[in-house]
Amino acid sequence: MDKAVFSLKGVEFSYHDSSPLLSGLNLDFYYGDSVCLLGANGSGKSTVLKMLCALLFPTRGIFRAFGDDIDEARMENDRYAKEYRRRVGFVFQNSEAQLFTTRIWDEIAFGPLQLGLAARDVKQRVEDIAGLLRIEDLLERSPYRLSGGEKKKVALACVLVMNPEVLILDEPTNGLDPKTQRWLIELLLQLNKAGRTIITATHNLELAHAISKRALVLSEEHRLIGDGNTFEILSNRDLLIQVNLIDEYTHIHESHEHTHRFIHA
């Protein structure tokens, strides 16, 4: 098996005749990585994540996962696709996009049931993940009567109950209060320490600093222009300004002038 869990070589992606959403992307993700994909809105972050989850496929170039070339034909194999979905868990930016039943217990149990697990094993998995995420009191409730933070926890439970090797998250802190954000950060650090590969797309620089060892930067022209240690990337003021992740402006207070930095979070 390749050293990289995911590998993209010369990847481009566009919808029909539209302008490319990704251009000339060469990128590897390694087992046990904790990576943040940074970029302004529209830079292509979500497109990369959907490709890693085999929801989109390159219009040019090669995408490999777990040592296999991944394309539409391979994912039409139901057995292969089911195993891929088990190994790669995706938490959408909008948690409601993942919730479709009328009871949280059924929501979390859906994935294990699709794997064909025995009823007692499904029950054990649901109880275990509910305990890990401290949502036991939500299991009999409707997902449509939960707060934003509770919905995020349920969406995570629906993914983690499958015991994925890779956890992919799109703007996971959007709409979360500070306490829930801290809970999520601690959970992601715990999962990565336990060996999970964590890949997160965000323009929240504080989140990137807290959870990732490696940062990737996409420009507004949909190209990868930064790949390195997270601290070093976040310390590169010129790079962050270039990709529209921070702004600076100068104005005068009494007899002196100074600069304010704004973080788009």
Residue 210 lies inside a defined structural domain of this protein: yes
pLDDT band at 249 (very low <50, low <70, confident <90, very high): low
pLDDT band at 189 (very low <50, low <70, confident <90, very high): very high
Domain extent for 44: 4-257
Predicted confidence (pLDDT) per residue in 190-226, tens digit: 999 999 999 999 988 889 999 999 999 999 998 999 9
Residue 242 lies inside a defined structural domain of this protein: yes
CB 14 within 8 Å of CB 24: no
In whole numbers, what is the pLDDT of the chain averaged over residues? Answer: 88
Range list of β-strands (E), the chain:
4-13, 22-30, 34-38, 60-65, 68-69, 88-91, 166-170, 197-202, 214-218, 224-229, 246-253, 256-263
Residue 204 lies inside a defined structural domain of this protein: yes
| pLDDT for residue 88 is more than 80 | yes
**Closest to 220 in 3D by CA, of 17, 8, 23:** 23
Predicted confidence (pLDDT) per residue in 122-179, tens digit: 999 999 999 989 999 999 999 888 888 888 899 999 999 999 999 999 988 887 888 8
Q: What's the pLDDT at 29?
A: 96
Torsion angles phi and psi, residue 123, rounded to 5: -60, -45
> Total domain count for the chain?
1
| pLDDT for residue 253 is more than 60 | no
CATH code for position 138: 3.40.50.300
Q: What share of the chain is helix, strand, coil (3-state, %, to 5)?
A: 40, 30, 30
Q: Which two tokens stand for residue 143?
A: 């997902």
Residue 262 lies inside a defined structural domain of this protein: no
Q: What's the pLDDT at 248?
A: 65
Q: Which two tokens stand for residue 54?
A: 């085999």
Helical spans, DSSP H, in 90-135: 104-114, 119-133
Residue 263 lies inside a defined structural domain of this protein: no
**Whole-number Å distance between alpha carbons of 36 and 207:** 9
Q: What's the pLDDT at 36?
A: 96
With pLDDT > 90 as the criterion, what percentage of the chain qualifies? 64
Predicted confidence (pLDDT) per residue in 28-60, tens digit: 999 999 999 999 888 889 999 999 999 999 999
Amino acid in position 119: A
CB 110 within 8 Å of CB 158: yes
Q: What's the pLDDT at 196?
A: 94
Q: What's the pLDDT at 203?
A: 84
| pLDDT for residue 117 is more than 50 | yes
Q: What's the pLDDT at 212?
A: 94
Which residues are CB-neighbours of 120 under 8 A, at least 6 positions away? none
CA distances 241 to 58, 168, 170, 181, 233, Å, are: 29, 26, 22, 25, 12
Q: How many residues does the chain have?
A: 265
Q: What is the mean pLDDT of residues 215-239?
A: 93
Per mean pLDDT, which range of 87-91, 92-96, 141-145 is the poorest?
Answer: 92-96
Residue 264 lies inside a defined structural domain of this protein: no
Amino acid in position 182: R
Residue 171 lies inside a defined structural domain of this protein: yes
| pLDDT for residue 260 is more than 50 | no
